């Protein structure tokens, strides 16, 4: 265990916890947070892989009303600790981290429950036109949430590092268990993307979605284009989007009374 790593991990986790609901609301996302955690733990490459994969898992999960989804921050921290410190397979680490991500949603709910009792102070400060009173309530909320997450991150670091040998022994002697975790972690990225599609996808876009998969398979299986497969598909997607926007704009203008030919 490295004291510097523990301190830095606690600091960034504190920041990520606050960033979920305040500040940028972007930095806490796995695709950004995991490479930062990877830099602290000394393995940026694993941070990029875990971050990209975990982002796909979490991309469709969002809080709706009072319901909290599995927490992306604790999941990112624990997945990185398991992958780097416990040297678990990345898919297995992502599968195991979901337990802690689910626990994270209870931490958020607990904080919100505590703060609901303090909101009367914010209301009183608002009635008195006292911005400092409102700021104090908000700072209290952020301090509670950040501290809880930082403590859990430290416990996960200590526990994950200490359990490294046991987890490696488990992967050797109970390969069926670790294989199950790997399969679950590998499946979750598709589940997360499916949740996003269920929310966003319109029936008239199914053709474009299937065309995108077809293009990815075609480009990916040609040696000359395989290395740039995602970029090429993205360019095609941008071209289709621009064309659709142009056609839609023309139809809208026509409906409003005609289209100028520019002459």
Average pLDDT for the chain? 82
Collapsing DSSP to helix, strand or coil, 233 comes out as helix
Predicted structure pTM score: 0.70
Percent of the chain with pLDDT over 90: 21
- For residue 86, give the DSSP letter: S
The answer, yes or no, to whether residue 262 has pLDDT greater than 60, is no
8 Å CB contact between 63 and 106: no
**Considering only 23-37, 86-100, 146-160, which range has the smallest mean pLDDT?**
86-100
Name which of 186, 13, 31 is nearest 96 in CA terms.
Answer: 186
| C-alpha span between 52 and 29 (Å, rounded) | 10
Percent of the chain with pLDDT over 70: 79
The answer, yes or no, to whether residue 169 has pLDDT greater than 70, is no
8 Å CB contact between 88 and 82: yes
Collapsing DSSP to helix, strand or coil, 210 comes out as helix
φ, ψ of residue 65 to 5 degrees: the values are 65, -125
Residue 176's pLDDT band (cuts 50, 70, 90): low
8 Å CB contact between 161 and 85: yes
φ, ψ of residue 47 to 5 degrees: the values are -60, -40
| C-alpha span between 3 and 9 (Å, rounded) | 10
The answer, yes or no, to whether residue 48 has pLDDT greater than 70, is yes
For 37, residues 6+ apart whose C-beta sits below 8 A from its C-beta are 9, 12, 47, 76, 77, 80
Q: Report pLDDT for 39.
A: 94
Mean pLDDT for 153-179 is 72
For 174, residues 6+ apart whose C-beta sits below 8 A from its C-beta are none
Name which of 157, 154, 147 is nearest 111 in CA terms.
Answer: 147
| C-alpha span between 46 and 29 (Å, rounded) | 16
The answer, yes or no, to whether residue 260 has pLDDT greater than 60, is no
- Does 29 or 104 have the greater pLDDT score? 29
For the four alpha carbons of 131, 133, 137 and 139, in that order, the dihedral sign comes to positive
Q: Report pLDDT for 263.
A: 47
Q: Report pLDDT for 34.
A: 93
Name which of 184, 172, 7 is nearest 95 in CA terms.
Answer: 184
DSSP H/E element including 166: helix 164-173
Express each pLDDT in 93-138 by its tens digit.
888 888 888 888 888 888 888 888 888 888 888 888 888 888 998 8
| C-alpha span between 166 and 122 (Å, rounded) | 49
Name which of 250, 238, 248 is nearest 204 in CA terms.
Answer: 248
Mean pLDDT for 167-193 is 66
The answer, yes or no, to whether residue 168 has pLDDT greater than 80, is no
Q: Report pLDDT for 117.
A: 83
8 Å CB contact between 56 and 193: yes
């Amino acid at each position: 265990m490295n004291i510097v790593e523990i301190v830095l991990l606690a600091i960034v986790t504190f920041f990520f916890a606050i960033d979920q609901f305040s500040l940028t609301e972007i930095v806490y996302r796995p695709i950004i947070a995991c490479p930062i955690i990877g830099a602290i733990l000394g393995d940026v490459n694993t941070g990029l892989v875990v971050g990209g994969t975990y982002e796909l898992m979490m991309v469709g999960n969002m809080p709706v009303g009072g319901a909290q989804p599995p927490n992306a921050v604790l999941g990112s921290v624990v997945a990185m600790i398991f992958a780097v410190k416990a040297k678990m397979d990345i898919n297995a680490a992502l599968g195991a981290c979901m337990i802690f991500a689910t626990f994270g949603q209870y931490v958020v709910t607990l904080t919100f429950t505590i703060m609901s009792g303090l909101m009367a102070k914010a209301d009183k400060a608002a009635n008195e036109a006292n911005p400092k009173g409102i700021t104090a309530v908000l700072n209290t909320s952020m301090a509670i949430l950040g501290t809880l997450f930082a403590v859990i991150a430290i416990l996960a670091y200590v526990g994950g590092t200490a359990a490294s040998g046991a987890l490696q022994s488990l992967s050797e002697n109970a390969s069926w268990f670790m294989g199950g975790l790997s399969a679950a972690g590998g499946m979750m990225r598709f589940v997360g993307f499916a949740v996003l599609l269920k929310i966003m996808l319109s029936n008239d876009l199914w053709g474009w979605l299937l065309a995108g998969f077809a293009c990815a398979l075609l480009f990916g299986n040609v040696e000359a284009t395989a290395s740039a497969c995602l970029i090429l598909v993205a360019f095609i997607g941008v071209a289709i989007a621009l064309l659709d926007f142009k056609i839609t704009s023309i139809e809208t203008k026509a409906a409003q009374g005609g289209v100028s030919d520019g002459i």
